[in-house]
Amino acid sequence: MGYEVVVDAEKCEGCEECIEVCPVDVYEMEDDKSVPVNAEECLGCESCIEVCEQDAITITEI
C-alpha cells in the first residue's frame, strides 16, 4: 500500500511550502514547479495539501 502524489503544474506557483513541510522529502523543485520525485516515500499525512494555497496537490491511496 502506498500513495500516488500528483502536482498540477498549471496550478503550482512554486512557493516551496510543500517541500518545507513534507517529512520524507517527496518533492523537489524543477523549473520553478514542485515535482513529486519520491512519491514512494509518501506517508499520506496530507500536510502538503494543507499548506498548498493553490490546491495543486492530490494524494490518492493506491
Q: Is 14 an interacting residue with respect to ligand SF4 (CB under 6 A)?
A: yes
Q: Which of 6, 56, 58, 61 binds ligand SF4 (CB under 6 A)?
A: 56
Q: What number of helices (H) and strands (E) belong to the chain?
A: 2, 4
Q: Is 13 an interacting residue with respect to ligand SF4 (CB under 6 A)?
A: yes
Binding mask 30-49 toward ligand SF4 (x if CB under 6 A, else -) reads ----x-------xxxxxxx-
Q: Is 20 an interacting residue with respect to ligand SF4 (CB under 6 A)?
A: no
Closest alpha carbon to 55 in 26, 2, 21, 13: 13
**Phi, then psi, of 50 in degrees rounded to 5:** -65, -35
